[in-house]
Amino acid sequence: MSSTAPETQSPPTSQFTPRVAPVGKPRGRGKKCYWYDNETKILIDVLQEIACDPAWKTDGCFRSNYLTEVYKWILSKMPNFSKQISPHIESKVKWRKTKFHAINDMLKQSGCQWDSVEKKTACERDWYESYILNHKEANGLWDFKFPYLDQLELVYGRDRATGATVEGYGDAIHNMEVEQNVESGGENVGDSFVSLTDDENDMQNASQATPTTSNINNARKNGK
């Protein structure tokens, strides 16, 4: 009687399927653009110069294509400047304009003053918490340093007084993004661009107030 050889069983097939990360749009804040101190200072200087030029700003309102001129002036002062009008300069200017008006409005209220040494608002925490209930644009401004407030007074100080709105390159497209920018602390502009250094760098690069804005604290309290 012949014997039957035992059947050889093949090893069980593993049911494990390795997970592969999906390839697509990266999550997070997206591309980042870093502004150096000297670039920010030149941008502010150019904005001041153009704000004093009646060919580019009259009755508190800039011409619609003024950021193109800002770009040209920056290049004349810094030929190796590599950033573009949109989104780099545009988002940087919009961020500063939004913060300027939010802080300026706070300083018109009783209970809030400007700390010219620390370059930030000075108010009680309870006052601030109450204020932002009806002023969402002031979110994130508690203990927030903004070193160029005096310089930007020359650029944007008359906007509200004259009822004019400073409209720049592509404003209609990015208005919604600016509103979202305020809510997020001023870093997110659109889905794929982030402008850095507003919180991180500028406080180290604060300049002295211009002669024309030395008394802006009293002006803010007395006028609209």
At residue 31, does pLDDT exceed 90? Answer: no
Average confidence (pLDDT) over 137-143: 94
> Range with the lowest mean pLDDT among 9-23, 34-48, 49-63, 173-187?
173-187
Residue-wise pLDDT for 39-68, tens only, equals 999 999 999 999 999 999 887 789 888 999
> What is the reported pTM?
0.60
Domain ranges of the chain: 31-222
Residue-wise pLDDT for 147-169, tens only, equals 999 999 989 986 544 434 334 33
Residue-wise pLDDT for 81-118, tens only, equals 999 999 999 999 999 999 999 999 999 999 999 999 99
Structure tokens that stand for 119 in this block: 């370059």
Handedness of CA 60, 63, 65, 67 (dihedral sign): negative
Angle between helices 37-51 and 149-156 (to 10 degrees): 30
Query: Parallel, antiparallel, or unpaired: how do β-strands 57-58 and 61-62 relate?
Result: antiparallel
